[in-house]
Amino acid sequence: MTHPAVHPETPRVAVASGCVLGEGPVWDQRTGALLWVDIKNPAVWRFEPDTGESASLPVRERIGFVALTEDPEVVIAGFKSGLARLHLKSGETEPLVQPEPDKPGNRINDGHVGPGGHLYFGTMDDDEAEPTGRFYHWDGQQLEAFGDAFVVTNGPAASHDGQTLYTVDSPGRFIYAHDLDEARPGPARRFVRFEEGWGHPDGLTVDAEGYVWVCHWGGSRITRFGPDGAPERIVPVPTAQVTKCAFGGPDLTTLYITTAGIGRDPHIDPMAGHLFAVETGVRGLAANIARV
């Protein structure tokens, strides 16, 4: 195994949000704002770095992610019950599709918009016990499951060239890669296996050079992996449960990081659940707009 470099900067607290289960950061270049969610204290958070202002919008049920649409004030939200359009000012929702009406114990977890505007997302057993979760591809008309069933799915993210989709089996500690053929994911192949002591792979993002940044739940860090799966650098994060990251800022070189406070002693892990930011010197990819 290669020995990755340690990133010279430590992530700073951008918003002391104290999320129970912070997840799903997405940068909107049109508004200069970051959106993310708290799954288990259900809310959509918004942060404007230029002003330092942040606010949260409580929602009616658990929410795994939000995806940008052509209207900056409307997102597609991955609620426990299904996908819906969510109006960020009023909180009103418009149901779109229910992936698993026959599985009331499941909920939608992580999601991502691919280069063509199609939506990729995963479901999971909300009790984190049974392998009832699946990955889905939705083009606005057809909803198709792909890959195997898992207890906890995570991290759908498309590569910089739109040719590969990365997915995560968090309890199994595997990251997979799927070839994309006209937006449809092919069979899974192993990309990275997390070693003992690394924690579990959680959310991820891809930069403009094709490297994959993976968050370590229980591992207090993010690792940047090359396209060949070799670790290139480690970014230590000053809290244990690191959930997902996304590039933002005017040059897309600031990495925003969500974390979780669930199960953590605030005296031992006082920054658990906060939003962090760190300058990387690496350019990320602009978030795609959902066209479904």
Active-site positions read 202
Give me the torsion for CA of 102, 106, 112, 116, rounded to 10°.
-10
User: For residue 35, what is the DSSP state?
Assistant: E
Neighbours of 282 (CB within 10 A): 18
- End-to-end Cα, the chain, rounded Å: 42
Handedness of CA 31, 33, 39, 43 (dihedral sign): negative
Concatenated DSSP letters for 143-208?
A: EEEEEEEESBEEEEEE-TTSSEEEEEETTTTEEEEEEEETTEEEEEEEEEEPPTTS-EEEEEEEBT
Q: In the numeric block, which tokens belong to residue 2?
A: 């290669």
CA distance 256 to 277: 4
Residues 125 and 131 sit within 8 Å (Cβ to Cβ): yes
CA distance 121 to 112: 6
Q: Identify residue 61 by its one-letter amino acid code.
A: E
